[in-house]
Copies of this chain bind each other. A is one copy, B any other.
Amino acid sequence: MKTKNGASEIAKKIKLIIFDVDGTLTDGCIYMGPEGEAMKAFSARDGMGIALAHKGDIKSAVITGRSSRIMAKRGKELKIDALYQGCVDKRGAYEELKLKLSLRDEEIAYVGDDLNDIPLIQQAGLGCCVGDAVSEVKELALVVADYPGGKGAVREILEFILKEQGKWDSLVSTFTGKKAAEGVSQ
Q: Using a CB–CB distance below 8 Å, which chain A residues touch chain B?
A: 22-23, 28-45, 47-48, 52, 68-70, 73-74, 77, 113-116, 118-119, 122, 134, 136, 140, 150, 155, 172, 175-177
Contact = CB atoms under 8 A, between A and B. Distances in A.
Please state the number of chain copies in the assembly: 4
Contact of A70 (B34, B48, B52, B134): B34
Contact of A40 (B32, B42, B115): B32
A177 B119 contact: yes
Contact of A172 (B23, B32, B44, B115): B115
Nearest to A22: B44
Contacts of A119: 175, 177
Nearest to A169: B136
